[in-house]
Amino acid sequence: MKLAVVGSGYVGLVAGACLAELGHEVQLVDNDSDKMAMLLRGEIPIHEQYLPELMSRNRQQGRLRFADSIANAVKTSSVIFIAVGTPALVNGAPDLSYVEAVASAVGQHVGEFKVIVEKSTVPVLTHQEIGKVMMLNGAPAESFEVVSNPEFLREGTAVTDFLFPDRIVVGADGSRGAAMLRQVYEPLTSGAYYSQSDAIPRPATFSGKARLLVTSAKSAELIKHASNSFLAMKISFINAIANICEAVGADVQEVCEGMGADSRIGERFLRPGIGYGGSCFPKDLLAFRLVAEECGLEFGLLNEVIKLNEYQRNRFVRKVRSALWNLKGKKIAALGLAFKGGTDDIRESPAIAIIQAFCNEGAEVVVYDPEAMERARCVLQDKVQYANSPYAACAGAHAMVVLTDWQDFAELDLGLIRRALRHPIVIDGRNLFRREQMLAAGLHYYSIGRPTAAPAKSSHSDSQAAVEEMLTEMRSVESVPNLSA
Ligand code: UGA
């Protein structure tokens, strides 16, 4: 099929590359000319597993192209995916002006029958607004259908999530739109894609064929907001339970295991930490709260989820303060900048907010992240120092603080960390370590919802030589390119 994807952000780029991978002819279009030039040079603006190879092989095979205008992309395509950004406005409502701009451009060039697909996350009833704008721009009502096809991909595993989905939701009020979307996803629903020898590796848990669910357009729009809000609620819930565990000396990991074993609850998204972040949950919760308000309904639960999430960050700063007493003048090694492991995205990252809180209290912060250093430099600038390894970050620090759940951090050599730190203190906002291993390494270990671990003897004098050595390494702190320059 001939498809156009308007918007080349996380969703658009991944959807475009994956749709080409399914055998369709895809045109990508974006009004950011710098981004288009970058893509034409074969550079990928985001860090996402399998995306570079998918982009490159589908471009080589001529299935993935970059259109020079929306008009050209629309004229030659039968299905147009809208995947532009919907950033939050000051009142929490999503800014739908980019969606409107695309709808009016599409309306002007629609020609023969086309399906317009809402891929961006939008409030319920947006499909009706898109339809109205298209008609105001000259598209006859019978020349198009607007379908909602929300995206459930997670950053870091976006390609796998797209190609091996739990479900594909198609919200279509007419039969033609539903039929065309069924055709788009046929290689996944029939399982044909999965038998290809060059298919992206299948996750162990994937059953074999993708399930496609057809609903009304309104229901599909609601499914997206409701799903993200529910997942965020699970996180805030377990964070609140973790805090109760801390108060009574219980272990939240044990509680999670016991709760998660109930198949009605499930163990996923029950990892306590420093709260959720990213470009989706915080924005979608605010938007969904407004949807409820506009319906004249009180959905106080969403307020609580948001409040608990903010509280969790502040509580973590307090935890660091209680471990180090005054933060002023203390050197803190902050491991992690991205909003979660596996991505370089720092949007709404709790790690950044917490580091800023440390800086505001006069701490000297040395940061390290395997992927997000360049992006973080644009925000944190020279308020912090940038280390070239977790060990260099810890050299001479009063404590190591873990803020992002990178697997690399879970595999650190704790003996080296212990020798690098000035004081053997680790405060883990992601529960990456077991208490026993920290005790064995001679570290004081504070985590979320679990009892603190303190080694019987914590003399640190034997490591002074190692500290000196690490401080020398520290002086060679790497400087990462300054994107803001
Ligand atoms: C989220 C959803 O998981 C996707 O299904 C959805 O498509 C996407 O938003 C979107 O709306 O586009 P993503 O933002 O990539 O995906 O990140 P998640 O993996 O959901 O994590 C969100 C945040 O919650 C992260 O800060 C993560 O560290 C935190 N989290 C997650 C926890 O604190 N505990 C958990 O148990 C799980």
> Mutate which of 276, 308, 402 to test ligand 1's pocket (most atoms within 8 Å of Cβ)?
276
Percent of the chain with pLDDT over 90: 91
Q: Give pLDDT, residue 457.
A: 63
Is position 221 within any domain? no
**Same-domain pairing of 413 and 438:** yes
Q: Which of 215, 249, 283 is the last residue of a domain?
A: 215
Ligand 1 centroid from CA 203, angstroms: 18
Q: Do 257 and 348 fall into the same domain?
A: no
CB 116 within 8 A of CB 3: no
15 and 148 co-located in one domain: yes
CB 271 within 8 A of CB 253: no
Q: Is 391 domain-assigned?
A: yes
Residue 441 is which amino acid? A
Could you say which of 18, 245, 256, 280 is catalytic?
280
Residue 333 resides in a domain: yes
282 plus 396 within the same structural domain: no
**Residue 418 covered by a domain:** yes
Does residue 46 register a pLDDT over 90?
no
Phi and psi at residue 412, to the nearest 5°:
-60, 150
The CATH number of residue 247's host domain is 1.10.1040.10
Supply φ then ψ for residue 306, to 5 degrees. -65, -45
Asked if residue 62 has pLDDT above 50, the reply is yes
359 three-class SS: helix
Q: Cα of 390 to ligand 1 centre, how many Å?
A: 24
Q: How does residue 208 score in pLDDT terms, banded at 50, 70 and 90?
A: confident
Task: Give per-residue pLDDT as tens, 318-366.
Answer: 999 999 999 999 999 999 999 999 999 999 999 999 999 999 999 999 9
Show which of 185, 215, 245 is a domain's final residue: 215
> The domain containing residue 251 runs over which residues?
230-309
Q: End of a domain among 289, 309, 329?
A: 309
In this model, does residue 466 exceed pLDDT 90?
no
Residues 346 and 403 in one domain: yes
| CA–CA–CA angle 173, 177, 182 (5° rounding) | 115
- Do 319 and 299 sit in the same domain of this protein? no
244-255 mean pLDDT: 98
Give domain status of residue 163, yes or no. Answer: yes
Q: Are residues 173 and 244 in the same domain?
A: no
Shared domain for 417 and 339, answered yes or no, is yes
Let me know how long the chain is.
485
Residue from 417, 324, 412, 313 nearest 355 by CA? 313
What is the CB neighbour count within 10 angstroms for residue 334? Answer: 31
Q: Is 276 in the pocket of ligand 1 (CB under 6 A)?
A: yes
For 364, the token pair is 């000297």
**Domain check: are 283 and 326 in the same one?**
no
220 close to 171: Cβ distance less than 8 angstroms: yes
Q: What is the pLDDT of residue 279?
A: 94
Determine whether 280 is an active site residue.
yes
Under the banding of pLDDT at 50, 70 and 90, the label for residue 207 is confident
Q: Do 117 and 245 sit in the same domain of this protein?
A: no
User: Average pLDDT of the chain?
Assistant: 93
Q: Whose CA is nearest to atom 30 of ligand 1?
A: 276
Tell me if 16 is assigned to some domain. Answer: yes
Mean pLDDT of 371-386: 97
Q: Tokens 């005790």, residue?
A: 439
Confidence (pLDDT) at 484: 34
Is any ligand 1 atom within 6 A of the Cβ of residue 448?
A: no
Task: Give the chain's domain count.
Answer: 3
Q: Specify the range with the lowest mean pLDDT, choosing from 242-251, 401-410, 450-459.
A: 450-459
Distance, in Å, from the CA atom of 207 to the CA atom of 396, rounded to the nearest integer, reads: 50
Per-residue pLDDT averaged across 161-170, rounded?
Answer: 97
CA separation, residue 354 to residues 94, 104, 206, 232 (Å): 25, 41, 36, 19
Is the CB–ligand 1 distance for residue 21 below 6 Å? no
Given CA atoms 251, 256, 261, 265 in this order, what sign does their dihedral have?
positive
Q: Give the pLDDT band of residue 47 (cuts 50, 70, 90).
A: confident
For atom 37 of ligand 1, which residue has the closest CA? 269
Rounded CA-CA distance 97/229 in Å is 23
Q: Do 53 and 171 share a structural domain?
A: yes
Residues 364, 427 within the same domain: yes
Cα torsion for 43, 62, 48, 70, to the nearest 10°? 80
Task: Report the CATH number that the domain containing residue 154 is assigned in CATH.
Answer: 3.40.50.720
Going by their DSSP bridges, the two strands 425-428 and 444-446 should be labelled as: parallel
pLDDT at 65: 97
- State the average pLDDT over residues 233-245: 98
The per-residue pLDDT for range 109-151, each reduced to its tens digit, is 999 999 999 999 999 999 999 999 999 999 999 999 999 999 9
Asked if residue 225 belongs to a domain, the reply is no
Q: Is the pTM of this model over 0.75?
A: yes
Pocket test for ligand 1, best of 221, 309, 340 (most atoms within 8 A of CB): 340
In a domain, 224, yes or no: no
Cα gap 182→162, rounded to integer Å: 15
Q: Which of 122, 153, 257, 283 to mutate to test the pocket of ligand 1 (most atoms within 8 A of CB)?
A: 153
Three-state secondary structure call for residue 29: strand
